[in-house]
Chains A and B, each alone.
Chain A
Amino acid sequence: MMHKKLIGAGMVLLMTAIPAMAQDGPSDPQIAHIAYTAGALDAEAGKLALLKSHNGAVRDFARTMIRDHEAVNGQALALVKKLGVTPEANATSAALSKQAAQTHARLEALSGAAFDRAYVANEVAFHGTVNNALRMTLIPSADNSELKALLDAGLTLFSEHQAHAEQLAKKL
């Protein structure tokens, strides 16, 4: 029960940070930083799952998260380089990192089926939060059309990840 409360607290933190920015609208360098951070954090969570989980389906899912998020982030890095944009740290990416650090510490203390359930539950929640942010704030605020297109492609992919995690959670 404790971990659900923590996920809830993290999401509240994140959701309060994002609308606060939305009033002015995050800039493209801030959006790039948020999107890149979210992807890097999820790849990190996947690496933790590969260290800790012995469940084949969970390990396959984690491998997909690492592979996909690293591929999208590779594309994001190539784009910011091409556009001459330097990603800019901001309150939302800081909130994401803070929440992920708490989740990482909590997951690290778990093992076996308890770890698998907590990891996958967090994947459902994390993708849900990031997808909402993409839909409501990041995509509408993006000025550059290529950045917008990459975020759109990301939303399609991460929505599939969320559905995949939801299906996996039912089997654990």
Chain B
Amino acid sequence: MPKMRPRSCTLAAAVSFAALLTTASMASAAPRTHVVAIEKMKFSAVPQNLRAGDTIVWINRDILRHTATARDGSFNIDLAAGASGRMVIGKAGLIAFYCKFHPGMRGMLRVAR
């Protein structure tokens, strides 16, 4: 027959669970870091939950030089073969981007406030 847990132990678990929830909700408000990789002449899927102030790390896994360049000029990350580059998303909205050297490579950032 299973033993009953002491009441104090259950209470402690409830308190730590509440603390965990608080931490989680704080974390979602804090700036986060996302990765967009380039491989075989394609940008990987862009994370859907971007917010202004978040960081994007662009990783170039090709043997070719690429860029991640905003159509509106708000960013231009030059990526040598195998290199990576970080940037902070400066504003909310839809930001179309492409590779300056290979204009067929395209993507879109959907950034919430």
Q: Does B101 contact A (CB under 8 A)?
A: yes
Question: Are the CB atoms of B101 and A67 closer together than 8 Å?
Answer: yes
Tier of interface size on chain A: 10 to 19
Q: Does A64 contact B (CB under 8 A)?
A: yes
Q: A156-B40, A156-B41, A160-B41 are in contact. Are A71 and B81 (CB under 8 A)?
A: yes
Question: Are the CB atoms of B103 and A157 closer together than 8 Å?
Answer: no
Within 8 A of B (CB), among A150-172: 153, 156-157, 160, 163-164, 167
In angstroms, Cα B99 to Cα A67, docked, is 14
In angstroms, Cα B41 to Cα A71, docked, is 14
In angstroms, Cα B99 to Cα A45, docked, is 23
A58 to chain B, nearest CB (A): 14
Q: Does A49 contact B (CB under 8 A)?
A: no
In angstroms, Cα B41 to Cα A50, docked, is 25
B-side residues, CB < 8 A to A, are: 40-41, 63-65, 81, 100-105
18 A-B contacts (beta carbon < 8 Å)? A67-B64, A68-B64, A71-B81, A72-B63, A72-B64, A75-B63, A153-B63, A156-B40, A156-B41, A157-B41, A157-B64, A160-B41, A160-B102, A160-B104, A160-B105, A164-B102, A164-B103, A164-B104
